[in-house]
Each structure stands twice: as C-alpha cells, then as structure tokens.
Structure 1
Amino acid sequence: MKRNEFLKTSSMLVAGSMFSPLISCTSQAKNVRKNWAGNYQYQAPEYYEPKTVDELLTVMKRAGKRKALGSCHCFNDIADSPLAQISTKNFNKLLSIDEQAMTVTVEAGARYGQFAPELDKKGYALHNLASLPHISVAGACATATHGSGVKNGNLSSAVSGLELVTAKGDVVNLTRANDAQLFNGAVVGLGALGIITKMTLDIQKTYQVRQDLFQDLPLQSLLDHFEEILASGYSVSLFTDWQDKKISQVWVKRKVEADTKSMGPDLFGAKAATKNLHPITKLSAENCTEQMGVPGPWYERLPHFKMGFTPSSGEELQSEYFVPKMHAVEAFQALEKMGSIIYPQLMISEIRTIAADSFWMSPCRNQDSVAFHFTWKQNWEEVSKILPQIEAELAPFNARPHWGKLFKVDPKVLKERYEMLPEFLQLARMYDPQGHFRNKFLDLNIYVR
C-alpha cells in the first residue's frame, strides 16, 4: 500500500442493515485493510463505522471479539481483532471548551490536526503534539504516544477525563479528579478495557512557536552537554543515523515570548541550518512544518510534518524504546557502538525527552524518560534481527518499548518492567470479564503468566 493512501478515509457499505460490516478502502484489494505504512494487514473479518454512541452500542451487542481502530498508525497488531474492528473515524468532533476548567472535550477519533485550528481560533492550545498531527486522540493516548520536551509529559498526560463503552455496553466516565486510581489505569489502556468515545484534555492559552535547526552536532558535544542541549527549547529533537560521530540535525522548538531572541549561528558546535530541512536530510522539506525561526501557531510548529501532506519518507517500519533520563547518555553510547549494524536498515533515528506521568501502563510512569526512535526501511526480515540486539544493549536500563511500534522484548521481561501490570489486569477483567477486547497482541504481551 502506498503511503498517500493514509489520508484516504472512505469506506464501502455492504448490502444489508446499516450495522452490517463495512469494507475499508484503505487498500485496493477488496476485504483487505492495512495500517498506514502498509506493513500490517488486519485480520479481523468484520469492520464497523458507527456514527453515534447508540450505533456503537448496537454494534457492540452484535459483535463478539472486538477492538477499537483509530487512525491505523500503529505498526503492529495492537488494534486488530479475531472478529471485529470498530472504527472511531466518525467520532471526530470538538464537542466543547470549558473556559473555567481550562479543558476541551473531543470525540475519541478526532485527529489532533483536525481540531487544533478550531481550538486555536478560540484562543487555546494543547501542551504538546506528536511529530505527526494525523493521529487520533484516543489511539495516541492509549499507547502513550508523545512529543518532546524535558517538562512535557506525553499526550496522555493532558487527559483529565474520558468516556468508555465497556463490553457489557455500560458507558463509564472517569476523571482525574474523582477516580484517581481507575483513571490512572484506564488512560493508557491499550484498547483492553473497552472503546473510548470521548476525552477531555487540559488546555492553556494559545501560543506561538518558532523552530531553529542546527546541523552536524559533534558526538562529544552531545555527550558533554546532553541535558543542556535537550533543554535548549520547549521541545527538542535530535536526528542521527549513528554514523560519523555526529548528530545530523537538532530541532529546537521554542515558545515565542517578548524577549525571545535568535539562537545564533552555533549550538555546542552544531551550525545553524540555512534552509528548511527534512529529518532525512536528502529528502525534500516540502511536507515539513515551517522552520528557520519563523513564528507560527503551536499546532503548525510542534509537529514535524504538515497535516495536509503525507508525512515522512514512504513505506517504513518504526520502533522506539524509552529509558530513564538518568541513563540516557549511557544508553546512547551503547547504541552508538551498534551504528554499523543499525545503519544499513535505517532511515533515521530521533531522540526525544518526555516528562514522567502516573499512568500504570505508560513507559514513562514515575520516570522522566528519553526515547530512542528508529524509522526503518520496510525490510522486516532484517529489522527483526536487529531489534533483539538493540533490546539487549538497552536491557541494563530497563528499556520499555512503545506499545504501538515493533519490538521483540520477551513478554516476561515486560511483566517485570511494569510493576502495575497485575493491577491493570484486574482492571481489564473488571471491565471486560469475558475477554471481548482481548487479541493476539494483548494475549502475548499483557495476559502473560
């Protein structure tokens, strides 16, 4: 599947009632549905697109095994089901803004890039965004997807409330203020508890951001000034191919204040870029958000890619690992020694920071973290050989993989690294006692003995 099909969202109604399964048109072959990168073909034989909670409840009564499907951004089978996928694509509206509580309530399938402009027009903003604005709110939060910034939690850290439809058809509302324990278990829920229909997010007054880019940061400068470099902006990303003893690009995103000044021509030995850049330097920056220090709205600068364009480089695979920030330099050095192994299958790596949160299944629970992200060539046979080697190098730091990306970590090891897993399993069994939302991914990685 070509990546430009990622933006297509049409589907075809099969003959029968309005609740008959739908066939998604995200690929050209009938009855075939794939994720946005085209590396995974969903196995669920049934597919539904309810438009209201009542329609969702009707579907839930008919479907046995089921799973919510968001923007199809995950690279593994976390959103698949043995029987039915229920898309949230029609749950895509900004519902309300509470100016007193400083929150916005959106439907679960809303994509950040869709409702952010409307939020901005009202004078408000979110604390952060991921590198892609194309992802859905519920899916991003359920998998602990993140942006960057030493003081910025992942996207789920903005959630103050959610509405969940359980396997029994109960509509459950949980809030940070009133249901602390259940709430901390449910926000990064991996789709195991039910189908989220709406979420309430913290907001703040709108702000502008500028992006300043620097090239060819010497490796030694990074090792000597790691924390200073990653704290040099509101959101900072490092891009590297693990070659030539350097970081190829440093993206520094800063809030624009009255006293915000140019960063100058040098950042710890990296030189200021003279033109807009794609994270993969040889590719065109046309699809990237505006750089060169030009101020713009938060939602047009915090992501790396524009909403109206297909992001990144084309067909790809992705993996990502989170390590405690205190061990980031050691982890970087361990990976840097693997450069000759990583490079042949790599497009680019990105390094970002994420502040700690309190969610049971978040990779950043109770620890400020640094994430090492790998965008791979779509060659799973070779990449699958490299991942265990990366995971072995990061094992001393108790690295946790991104739930929505590719990894090979032994499930028993995952169990050791998530101390709240037993409590999460109790919560899943409370909301889904018959295991309707269980699938191959959860059975392997979560319901492990």
Structure 2
Amino acid sequence: MELRNWAANLAFRAGEIHRPTSLSELQRLIAGASRIHALGSGHSFSHVADSPGDLVALDGMPYEVDVDMAAGSVRVGAGVTYARLAPELHRHGFALANLASLAHISIGGSVATATHGSGDANQCLSAAVSAIDLVTYDGSLVSLQRRDPDFPGAVVALGALGVVTTLTLDLVPAFELHQYVREGLEPGFDPAEIMSTGYSVSLFTDWSSTHVWLKRHTELTDDGWYGTRPATRQAHPVPGMPADGCTGQLGEPGPWHERLPHFRHDFPPSSAGDELQSEFLLPREHAAEAITRLRAVRDRLAPVLQISEVRTVAADELWLSPFRGRDSVAIHFTWVRDTAAVLPVIGLVEDVLAPLEPRPHWGKLFTRLPACPEEFRELAGRYDPAGKFGNDFLRAYLTVDDR
C-alpha cells in the first residue's frame, strides 16, 4: 500500500515502514539497516522525512509520559502527540509554554523540524527540550542534555543524527487564556504593536483583508480594539471552512491546551483539506516591510493562495532552528494543492522576501535550501558516518556551504 504524507501531496519512496514495539527492537532494526529514517506524524510537505531505504515510526512503542513534579519537566516518548500529552500535563497542574496550531503532530517530528506556535516571548517547541535520547547508526543509545556541547545541534536535526526515542521538556504552571477573533484590521497597522497585545497572536490575511486571532491572559474590554469588530461566531482560519473543529474563540477563558492551538485536540485534525504549505521566518524588525512587499504582489498570490498567517517567535540558539539568534516574524502560506502551480509562486515569495533574510520552515515547501552550518555538517559526519539516515533532502542540504 502506498504511504503518503498528511496532505497526500507526496508518496514516500521508502520500501518499507517499520513500527517497533520496544527499544531493543528499534536498536536491532537500525543496526541492521543500510538506509533508514524516522517518520513522525507525516505532517511535513516535502521529502525531509523520507528514505531511499526504510522508514521507522514510533507510534507502536510503549506509551511513555513521566512528569517530574519537583523538576517541572516531563520525559515523553518521541511518538507521543501533543494532543495526547497536553491534557495529561494539565491534570498534573502543568503546561507547555507554547503549542503549534495543530496538536495532533508527534513531539519527535515537531522538535526535529523546529515547529512553532506564536508569541513575542514564546520560543519554538524545540526550545523546551532539555534532554534527548537517540539511537545512532550502529544501534547505540546516546543521551544528551543541555550542558553537552552537541546538544544545540542535535535537537533540531531533521533526523540526520539518528532516531530520537525520548525527549525531556520544560514545563510551566498550568494557565488559562481568552481567545478572540477580531475582524477588519485596517492596512497600515503596526505589526510590532499588534503582536505585543497578547500571549499569542496570529494575523490571518489574503493580503487584502486581515483578521486577528488574539490569545490573552486577561479579558479584552476594548470594543473598538484597533478599529476592528468582534467575530460573533466561531471562525476557521480559511474563510468558508466549517469551524466546529476550532478552539473556542468568543472570549470564554479556557485551559492553555484548549486555546493555544487553533484546532481542538479532541477533534479530528482540521484544516483546509486539500492544501500545500510554505513558511518563511525573518528578523522581527522586517515585519512591516515584509507585509508591504507581499501586499504589492497579492494579485499574483491570489490564484493559488487560500490564506496566510503572520506570527512572531522568540529567538533560540539551536543550530538548525530558523529562529537561531534572532526574534522572528513567521509568514505562513496555505496554498491550493497543485504543486505545479504553487512552486513558481513560492519562488516569487522567496524573491520578494530575499532582501529580508528569510529562512524556511523545514517541514514545509520551499525552493532554495539555506546554508548548512559547518558545525552541523561535522556533527552529522560523526553521528552518521555512513549516511544511514540520509536522504536526497539531507544530502543536498549538507553540501550547501555556509561561507
């Protein structure tokens, strides 16, 4: 049976997918394989998680969630999803500081690709990791912690170093948020000001009209907030889509895991359905110029664009993180599912944003590989000297010089 990704826009080339049920079985599998790569929940839109040999998924491994109440951390299996983890953390009185818009994705795959949510002070999901265990090319189990020199290169590693089996995540005390949808944000707004008005803020735009998804600790009492009007019923990010799978938006407070994602964790994964996605991360100070540049080409985007989302993400120091060393603005594109029509438009977006130092989201579509840091190239050579975890995507990336 042909294995496809979540969006069904690509078929994996791997000959077989394995689902080990124990750590020892996984170690034997990796040690005996010639080419193999980890597969998360399949939410990537490119061949970043493919393999010319076999794939290995960890959803058959024993369920592992171990909350350390004293340390304020959780040790969790890489195949566990945020949708399953978050309610359990909440029952223990804890939260993750940030979540992606869709909670149904696996923790291991999300971390490996620097998946993120939103918020001026919120880092990507990978930055919450304080320790990882991974099985390397010869079946050995390696444990790394923040103090280890290889750690910042091993967290966001695109599966190039081995198969991550468990991760330890930092926790914060559980909290509540209000979520509001505000319609009719006028052009000319200051993105820096708007983005600072909530714990997590998303702008949804077709580059002509814009509405705001605002997630706040406190109630919003300004009826005319930035000249907008309040939505009077639940909304979906893509206009016209049913909103029953979206998290509560009408200001009623709710637990962090029922407000931070755009989509409910207890509902089937919801999005536009037939779609492709791209996202580019730029220094936050370029947000206003990036918005102006994209508005200028909106007529060329419109035939293949369903919706764009603008968010902010705080800096980290993980080597392959697109947020490394800079607070960022994230500009996301949900396209129609027509690869031939969409790829030239992605190239146009890359051209338009090129002067603003864009970096791509690893799990989405782009046409230009960024430079590979020499330190990561050396790390990949040490952890996988035979290229067992390599694929076309990684081989191309590892040859892109950062000088």
Same-fold call, TM > 0.5?
A: yes
Residue 31 of structure 2 aligns to a residue whose secondary structure is helix
How big is the shift at 1:62?
2.4
Q: Confirm or deny that 1:404 pairs with 2:346.
A: no
CA distance, structure 2, for counterparts of residue 233 and residue 82 of structure 1: 44
Selected match of 1:154 from 111, 124, 144: 124
Question: Are 1:433 and 2:370 counterparts?
Answer: no
* Residue 213 of structure 1: how far off its partner (Å): 1.0
C-alpha contact 2:65 2:85 (8 A) present in aligned 1:
no
Q: Is the 8 A contact 1:287 1:311 kept in 2?
A: yes
1:360 paired to 2:314? no
Q: Aligned residue pairs: how many? A: 400
Residue 168 of structure 1: CA displacement?
1.3
Alignment of 1:105 with 2:75, yes or no, is yes
8 Å contact kept, 1:149–1:355: yes
CA–CA distance in structure 2, aligned partners of residues 209 and 447 of structure 1: 44
Residues in 2 aligned to 1:310 and 1:152: alpha-carbon distance in whole angstroms: 24
Write the distance in 1 (CA, Å) between the matches of 2:353 and 2:63. 40
RMSD: 1.1
C-alpha distance in structure 2 between counterparts of 1:340 and 1:352, whole Å: 22
- 1:344-398 residue CA offsets vs partner (Å, 9 max, x unmatched): 1011100000000000000000000001000000011111111111101111111
Give 1:294 deviation, angstroms: 1.0
Are the equivalent residues in 1 in contact too, given 2:219–2:251 (CA < 8 A)?
no
- 2:56 paired residue among 65, 86, 91: 86
Name the residue aligned to 1:212. 180
Aligned-partner SS, 2:111: helix
| CA deviation after TM superposition for structure 1 residue 36, in Å | 0.6
Equivalent residue number for residue 288 of structure 1 = 246
Work out which of the residue numbers 42, 50, 65 in structure 1 matches 2:20. 50
1:191 counterpart (159, 165, 170): 159
Which residue of 259, 280, 283 corresponds with 1:321? Answer: 280
After the TM superposition, which residues 232-251 of structure 1 pair with which residues of structure 2 at under 5 Å, given as runs? 232-243=197-208, 246-247=209-210, 249-251=211-213
Matched, 1:306 2:271: no
2:79 is the counterpart of 1:114: no
Q: 1:212–1:263: 8 Å Cα contact kept in structure 2?
A: no
Pairwise CA distance, 1:264: 2.5
Using the TM superposition, give the Cα deviation of residue 197 of structure 1 relative to its aligned residue in structure 2, in angstroms: 0.1
AA matched with 1:275: R
**Structure 1, residues 231-288: CA drift from partner, whole Å, max 9, x if none?**
1100000000112xx31x1001112xxxx33333222111111111111232221110
Partner residue, 1:20: none
Given that residues 281 and 322 in structure 2 are in contact (C-alpha distance below 8 angstroms), is that contact kept between their aligned partners in structure 1?
yes
Distance 1:354 1:56 in 2: 35
Deviation readout 1:170-194 (Å, 9 max, x if unpaired): 1111111x31x31101110111000
Give yes or no for the alignment of 1:172 onto 2:142.
Answer: yes
Preserved CA contact (<8 Å) 2:310 2:330: yes
Partner of 1:142: 112
Work out the CA distance in 2 between the residues paired with 1:59 and 1:71: 20
Partner Cα distance (2:400, 2:241) in 1: 42
Equivalent in the alignment of 2:338:
379
Q: CA offset at residue 90 of structure 1?
A: 2.2
CA distance in 2, matches of 1:83, 1:204: 40
Deviation at 1:142, TM superposition (A): 0.6
- Does residue 292 of structure 2 align to residue 333 of structure 1? yes
d(CA) in 2 for partners of 1:448, 1:234: 37
* Cα distance in 2 for residues equivalent to 1:295 and 1:281: 24
Q: Which residue of 1 aligns with 2:133?
A: 163
- Pairwise CA distance, 1:92: 6.4
Residue 129 of structure 1 corresponds to: 99
User: CA contact under 8 A between 1:184 and 1:360: conserved in structure 2?
Assistant: yes
**C-alpha separation in 1, matches of 2:244 and 2:78:** 30
1:17 corresponds in structure 2 to none
Partner of 2:399: 447
Amino acid at match of 1:428: A
Give the SS at the match of 1:302.
coil
Q: Residue 262 of structure 1 aligns to which amino acid in structure 2?
A: L
Which ranges of structure 1 fall in alignment gaps of 5 or more residues?
1-29
Per-residue CA distance 1:118-176 (angstroms, 9 max, x = gap): 11101111001000001111110110100000000000010001001100111111111
Q: Normalising to structure 2: TM-score of the pair?
A: 0.97
Q: Deviations over 1:204-253 (max 9, x none)?
A: 11111110110010011x2xx2211101100000000112xx31x10011
What is the rounded CA distance, in whole Å, between the counterparts of 1:278 and 1:254 in structure 2?
19
Q: Is 1:229 aligned to residue 229 of structure 2?
A: no
In 2: Cα distance, 1:78 partner to 1:446 partner: 13
Q: Report the CA distance shift for 1:231/1:252 in structure 2 as closer, same or farther (over 3 A).
A: same
Identity %: 45
What SS class does the counterpart of residue 86 from structure 1 fall into?
strand
Larger RCO, structures 1/2 (Cα 8 Å, 6+ apart): 2
Alignment partners' CA distance in 2, 1:272 and 1:100:
42
What is the distance in 2 between the residues matched to 1:356 and 1:242?
A: 26
Partner amino acid, structure 2, of 1:183: F
Letter in structure 1 aligned against 2:169: L
Deviations 1:299-347 (A, max 9, x none): 1110001122231111110000000001111111111111001111011
CA contact (8 A) 1:92 1:109 kept: no
Q: Counterpart of 1:444 in structure 2: which amino acid?
A: A
Which runs of 5 or more residues in structure 2 are unaligned?
none
SS at match of 2:115: coil
